[in-house]
Amino acid sequence: MGEPVRHGHRRPTPRTALCVLVILAGTLLCGCAALQGPFAKRNIERDLSTVEPGTLTVACDFASPPMDFVDSDGQRRGFEYELVAEVADRLGLDLEFRRCEDLPAVESAVADRAADMAASALSLDDFGGSVSSLEAGSPYMSVGRDVVVPRERPFKGVEQLNDPACTVVVQGGSPNEAWVRETLPKAAVVPVDNAVQGLTGVANGTYSAAVYDDVSATYLLNSMFGTLMVGHHQDDVSRYCFAFSSEDPAVREAVDDALAALEEDGFVASLEAKWFGSPLA
């Protein structure tokens, strides 16, 4: 089902050094600022019936930088990774991540009660699609859509891609794939596993364009794919959230309460500043 890694329920140590990300091909350097605190911490501890008593077990594919990824040292990192760690801390629970191969495996882990929740840069639009058997928690971040194209080629607009000669790469099974198929019915759509794989193909000329969430696209373009650019952007097309089994509303409600406390005391804004340069609107 996945590979478990346990952590104590404590806040991740702030890092101010440069972090190195290696995913599939290429080495990625990114600046990481420290979290700004202290925070007026409000715990949401309560009795919960979790998969493992006293532990919040989280399914994740770690394939969505900067939300969840594995760095060159084999360490799991990311905005969502740190956010979940703080949620577990506020709930008074230890934390175990169960790494899954892909989103279907993430969904199965939660549906089969091998994990309490899923955290894999899921958006509200994924429900009814790639994670149809799960229930969405409260959204915690707005997400837009970017169409990424080579800088060296003239780009006049999205309609330019609606051509049988154009290949558009997307993450398979994602809301962005559905959008491309509806908006660009004449284009050849190529589903792949993750954004690094897709953007590598655009950079080397295999694909005409890529369509990904703006959070991932901006992060990877700024730090790994300098020859690419955003040719078209849409704001606030969906929102990121965690996913839960519909059979266990108590865990979802507790996580939602913890997220509300993290918003209230400024932790989320500080985490956004660390990973994205400033708090998000």
Rounded Cα gap, residues 162 and 246, in angstroms = 39
117 and 211 both lie in a single domain: no
Choose the weakest-confidence range: 187-191, 242-246, 273-277. 273-277
pLDDT at 259 over 60: yes
Task: Tell me, yes or no, whether 128 and 199 share the same domain.
Answer: no
Q: Is 20 a domain residue?
A: yes
* Residue 67: CATH number of its domain: 3.40.190.10
Taking only the tens place, the pLDDT of each residue in 107-137 is 999 999 999 999 999 988 888 666 778 999 9
End-to-end distance of the chain based on CA atoms, in angstroms? 37
Q: How confident is the model at residue 43 (pLDDT cuts 50, 70, 90)?
A: low
Average pLDDT over residues 90-113: 94
Q: Residue 246: is its pLDDT beyond 70?
A: yes
Q: Are residues 111 and 85 in the same domain?
A: yes
Instruction: State whether the Cα torsion 269-42-124-77 is positive or negative.
Output: positive
Q: How many domains does the chain have?
A: 2
Residue 42 is predicted with a pLDDT of: 54
Task: Name the H helices within the chain.
Answer: 79-90, 103-111, 175-183, 195-203, 214-223, 249-264, 267-276
Phi then psi dihedrals of residue 145, to 5 deg: -130, 135
1 versus 123: the higher-pLDDT residue is 123
What pLDDT is stored for residue 278 in this prediction? 85
The C-alpha angle 74, 32, 26, rounded to 5 degrees, equals: 50
Task: Let me know whether 211 and 124 are in one domain.
Answer: no
Q: What is the pLDDT of residue 248?
A: 82
Residue predicted with more confidence, 68 or 26: 68
Residues 131 and 257 in one domain: yes
d(CA 58, CA 85): 10
CA–CA separation, 15 vs 132, rounded Å? 36
Same domain, residue pair 112 and 14: yes
The token pair at 164 is 């049988």
- Do 165 and 153 belong together in one domain? yes
Q: Let me know if residue 214 belongs to a domain.
A: yes
pLDDT of residue 13 exceeding 80, the answer is no
Average pLDDT, the chain: 85
Residue of 247 and 184 predicted with greater confidence: 184
Which neighbouring-strand residues pair with 169? Answer: 190, 210
Let me know whether 183 and 94 are in one domain: no
CB atoms within 10 A of CB 124: 16
Tokens 């140590």, located at residue = 13
Parent domain of 133 = 3-141+239-276
Look at residues 142, 232, 215 and name the one whose alpha carbon lies nearest to residue 180. 232
Which of the listed ranges 21-25, 248-252, 253-257 does the model predict with the highest average pLDDT? Answer: 253-257
**pLDDT the model gives residue 233:** 97
Between CA 80 and CA 89, with CA 84 as vertex, the angle to 5 degrees is: 150
How many CB atoms sit inside 10 A of residue 94's CB?
A: 19
**How far is the C-alpha of 261 from the C-alpha of 54, rounded, in Å?**
20
* 98 and 22 assigned to the same domain: yes
Residue 281 lies in a domain: no
Confidence of residue 174 (pLDDT cuts 50, 70, 90): confident
Whether residues 67 and 178 fall in one domain: no
- For residue 71, being part of any structural domain is answered with yes
Question: Are residues 147 and 218 in contact, defined by beta-carbon separation less than 8 angstroms?
Answer: no
State the pairing for strand pair 27-30/94-99.
unpaired
pLDDT at 47 over 90: no
- Cβ atoms < 10 Å from Cβ of 72: 12
Residue 56, pLDDT above cutoff 50: yes
190-205 pLDDT, tens digit each: 999 889 999 999 999 9
Within a domain: residue 48?
yes
Question: Are 228 and 253 within one domain?
Answer: no
In percent, the amount of the chain with pLDDT more than 90 equals 70
Q: Are 101 and 112 part of one and the same domain?
A: yes
- pLDDT score, position 34: 46
pLDDT of residue 46: 62
Whether the predicted pLDDT of 211 surpasses 90: yes
pLDDT number for residue 87: 96
Structure token pair of residue 207:
């694909």
∠ CA 144-148-152, nearest 5°, is 150
